[in-house]
Amino acid sequence: MNGFSIPDTTLAAYRAAIYRIHGEPPIDMKIGEKNASVAALLGRHGVGSAVFVTAFNPFGCELSAEQNAARQRALEAHIAQAGWMALAGEGLDPNNVWSAEASLFVLGATVLDADDFMLAYEQNAVVVVGDDGVPRLRVHPRYR
């Protein structure tokens, strides 16, 4: 054990969340639920994986709207500079306990990239999707 853990209530919230990729129509992902629309999206873009990530609220610490917006712009710049294509999205709480978080669905990003995003933007977890279309929660390396 590494001494760090994510509270069970937080993990439950991540697992219950709706991870929406904006588009016409939008695609809603749920952890562990195969999603043919996501698999098709990856196929259309010729990639085998993608990562759904936000820079909002580092390690679950709520920041102001301005602080979150600045962090999200930094993430967007990072992704653009690396040459990835990203689709806008948001993480939604079906129980409306927490506010939606602007997010990006980074096409072609891998589990290793997911770890880099979490380290750089202080995120407890991200969502990784492979060509099977199943969104999986990946927790920060310090929690594994």
Instruction: Tell me the three-class secondary structure of 15-41, residue by residue.
Output: HHCEEEECCCCCEEECCCCCCHHHHHH
> Could you give the CA distance from residue 1 to residue 35 in angstroms, rounded to a whole number?
33
pTM to 2 decimal places: 0.96
- Cis peptide before 25, with omega less than 30 degrees from 0? yes
Report the C-alpha gap between 15 and 68 in whole angstroms.
22
- Under a CB-based contact definition with an 8 Å cutoff, are residues 54 and 91 in contact? yes
Q: Could you state, in order of their start, the residue ranges of all structural domains in the chain?
A: 8-143
pLDDT per residue as tens digits for the range 78-132 = 999 999 999 999 999 999 888 899 999 999 999 999 999 999 999 999 999 999 9
